[in-house]
Amino acid sequence: MGIVNLKVTVGTVGFTDWLHVTACKVSAPSTVVWEDWIDVPVASHNFIIPNLDPENYYVRYYDAPTNSSLGTIKLELLVNALSGETISERRFYTVGGAGAYDPADGDTGVTDPYLVNKNIKGVFKESFRYYEPLTEFTNDPLTGNVDIINGTTLTTDEKLIIEIEYRVANTPTVTPTGLYNGILNVPEATKTLTAGDIEKRVRLVGSAATQVITLCALSAIAADKGFYFDNTCGGTAIQVKLLIPGSDRIRFNGFMAASNLFAEFWISKGEHLLIRKFDDSYWEVITDYKGVDVGNRQSGSYVNMPAYHAEDGSLSDGDEYCRVWWWINNILPSSHVITDDAVTDPGYSYEVLRMGQFVKHSTLKKFRWPRTMNMSERGLKDFNTYAGDAERTYDYPMAWQGEMVGPHSHGYNPGDVQGLSDNANDRQVMVPGSQSRTTLQNAGTENRVDNIGVIYMVHI
């Protein structure tokens, strides 16, 4: 199969001075084929273990006092170098240690949030043996608690080792044929996904008005791996923002924008989004993306139409409508948008001839929707070249044009009427009548045809 490079990402929480990483073949577990020291703390670290044979490896993490010492082992992964998949994991806890989740002297187990929803394969205590599942230890996948139930208590400086299984060793790696493999609920307002979350259905169930998800680095995962985001499960955020770290980008040409590379992307309520790694620089969008309709207008029959907002002139926040805010600033020509810092005033008044346009603040992420109530539509004189209609002060889409009645006349002949002759006697005679007068129909005050009322709306 040749030589492979193993891409690894690790969060460095719990490491004091240096994170010492080693790699050994499972067939030669005491022979270090690669090692490195990482100065901590950092939020997370991505690195590549190069030039490995396509075999299974132990990747071990030590908390080291210097950048040359072995340190104290904290974590051991069994990893398939060819696929990059983690097969199993061992976590080391020191009784009475300084780690955030190290058990205390006299405890009967450990509680660690990392263990939530993990498949606990085994529990081992220093100077003892593996505990038998169910009869000698239990684990609660909802709380991350592993408890020894045979009466054993832990003693200071003892090591407790918990093994986690991700898949059965030596089982051929199969690329998922569905959209996802496992579920991850995200209730937090901000969340950074890791390589361990890959191939999950990410349920966006936050309760805050905004939710921001930061993706893991592309270098940390294998090609064609990705995330399936689901914003249909009851989350509060109108539009969830995805942030792409570093120089990674989502590549998508559906907006016909100047660039098809995005450092952020958006998932509105009721939408799904499947993205997968294309290469070390780009994510690609796999499913149809409803966001391509942002800014599109339609007539609605209900003010709370899903995926739309009424053109009612109301004030909104660009962090809550993050896709709309991006569209206003990156797609709409500047002539189609009003910039006015008075936009946040409660009694804001639109410029009369431009009330059909968006209004934004110059520095704050605040904007008002167009205000098209009690208006009708009319096609521009020229769709491709503006400024050709002398009757429009602002000759571009959504600019208002006032009512006007063109030259016309009303003929009216009431028949002969009584008049005076033009001779000296001024006799009364009947002469042909001719008058001009205003005609009213049903006491109306405006020109209109039969109509139904609609609500003009913008796709978000």
pLDDT tens digits, 315-365: 999 999 999 999 999 999 988 999 999 999 999 999 888 899 999 999 999
Task: Look at residue 286 in the predicted model and tell me its pLDDT.
Answer: 94
Instruction: Write out residues in the chain with pLDDT < 70, as ranges.
Output: 1-2, 167-177, 408-444
**Encoded amino acid at 196, one letter:** G
Residues 6+ away with beta carbon under 8 Å from 363 = 341
Phi and psi at 137, nearest 5°, equal -150, 150
Phi and psi at 431, nearest 5°, equal -125, 155
Task: Look at residue 387 in the predicted model and tell me its pLDDT.
Answer: 79
- Give the sign of the dihedral formed by CA 247, CA 251, CA 254, CA 259: positive
Task: Look at residue 126 in the predicted model and tell me its pLDDT.
Answer: 87
Task: Look at residue 373 in the predicted model and tell me its pLDDT.
Answer: 92
Task: Look at residue 215 in the predicted model and tell me its pLDDT.
Answer: 97
Q: Which residue, 212, 145, 224, is CA-closest to 181?
A: 224
Q: How far apart are CA 111 and CA 164, in angstroms?
A: 14
Dihedral angle over CA of 85, 86, 87, 90, nearest 10: 170
Contact 264, 326 (CB under 8 A): yes
The answer to whether the bond into 41 is cis (omega within 30° of 0) is yes
Structure tokens belonging to residue 213: 């998800």
Beta-bridge partner residues of 10: 45
pLDDT tens digits, 83-102: 788 889 999 999 999 888 99
Residues 6+ away with beta carbon under 8 Å from 156 = 95, 96, 105
Task: Look at residue 425 in the predicted model and tell me its pLDDT.
Answer: 64
Task: Look at residue 433 in the predicted model and tell me its pLDDT.
Answer: 60
Per-residue 3-state assignment (H helix, E strand, C coil) for the chain: CCCEEEEEEECCCCCCCEEEEEEEECCCCCCEEEEEEEECCCCCEEEEEEEECCCEEEEEEEEECCCCCCCEEEEEEEEECCCCCEEEEEEEEECCCCCCCCCCCCCCEEECHHHCCCCEEEEEECCCCECCECCCEEEECCCCEEEECCCCCCCCCCEEEEEEECCCCCCCCCCCCCCCCCEEEECCCEEECCHHHCCCEEEECCCCCCCEEECCCHHHCCCCCEEEEECCCCCCCCEEEEECCCCCEEECCCCCCCCCEECEEEEECCCEEEEEECCCCEEEECCCCHHHHCCCEEEECCCCCCCEEECECCEEECCCCHHHHHHHHHCCCHHHEEECHHHHCCCCCCCHHHCCCEEECCCCCEEECCECCCCCCCCCCCCCCCCCCCCCCCCCCCCCCCCCCCCCCCCCCCCCEEEECCCCCCCEEEECCCCCCCCCCCCCCCCCCCCCCCEEEEEC
Contact 283, 245 (CB under 8 A): no
Phi and psi at 328, nearest 5°, equal -60, -40
315 burial type by CB count under 10 A (0-12 exposed, 13-18 middle, 19+ buried): middle
Q: Which residue, 246, 167, 161, 194, is CA-closest to 10?
A: 194
Q: Are strands 428-431 and 417-420 parallel, antiparallel or unpaired?
A: antiparallel
Q: How crowded is the C-beta side of 333, counted as CA atoms within 13 Å?
A: 6
pTM for the predicted model, two decimal places: 0.57
Q: Which residue, 239, 93, 83, is CA-closest to 172?
A: 83
Q: How far apart are CA 73 and CA 20, in angstroms?
A: 9
Displacement of CA 166 from its chain's centroid (Å): 28
CA R_g for the chain:
35
Q: Which residue, 114, 249, 233, is CA-closest to 183?
A: 233
